[in-house]
Amino acid sequence: MKTNDKILLLDRLSVCYNRVNYLIALCKEQALTDEANRLGRRKERLKLEIDGLLRDLYANWVGDAKALKVKLETSNQSMDEAIKEIERQIKVAENIVRATGYIDGVIKVAIDLVK
């Protein structure tokens, strides 16, 4: 995998991390404390995985960058849709659960990259 591909993957993981921060702020704004806490735990897990990837960027990186890029983009797009619905206060709890699932998917991709 080319260095540029690795950097693009890390950029997409960072986008997801930033969106999780926004989701947490949105939940707090809407007084959804339990959801904010749940997302906070996922954020910390995602951060650990991103930190691991950064450490391993130039060592033993395996996987297909194009396929992983598509997975990350799909998760980020799905998370954007959930955020928009939460902002419109449509099915808030259901969309928090969906967004959490997308974050879990990104965490799984990050874990697979480290293996």
Which pLDDT tens digit goes with each residue over 46-89? 999 888 878 767 555 555 667 777 888 888 899 899 888 888 88
Total structural domains within the chain:
1
Inform me whether the pLDDT recorded for 20 exceeds 90.
yes
- 11-31: average pLDDT: 93
pLDDT score of 114: 67
* Residue ranges making up the domain that contains 22: 3-114
Indicate yes or no: pTM above 0.85: no
Looking at this protein, which amino acid is placed at residue 7? I
Distance, in Å, from the CA atom of 102 to the CA atom of 107, rounded to the nearest integer, reads 9
pLDDT score of 21: 95
pLDDT category, 43, cuts 50, 70, 90? Answer: very high
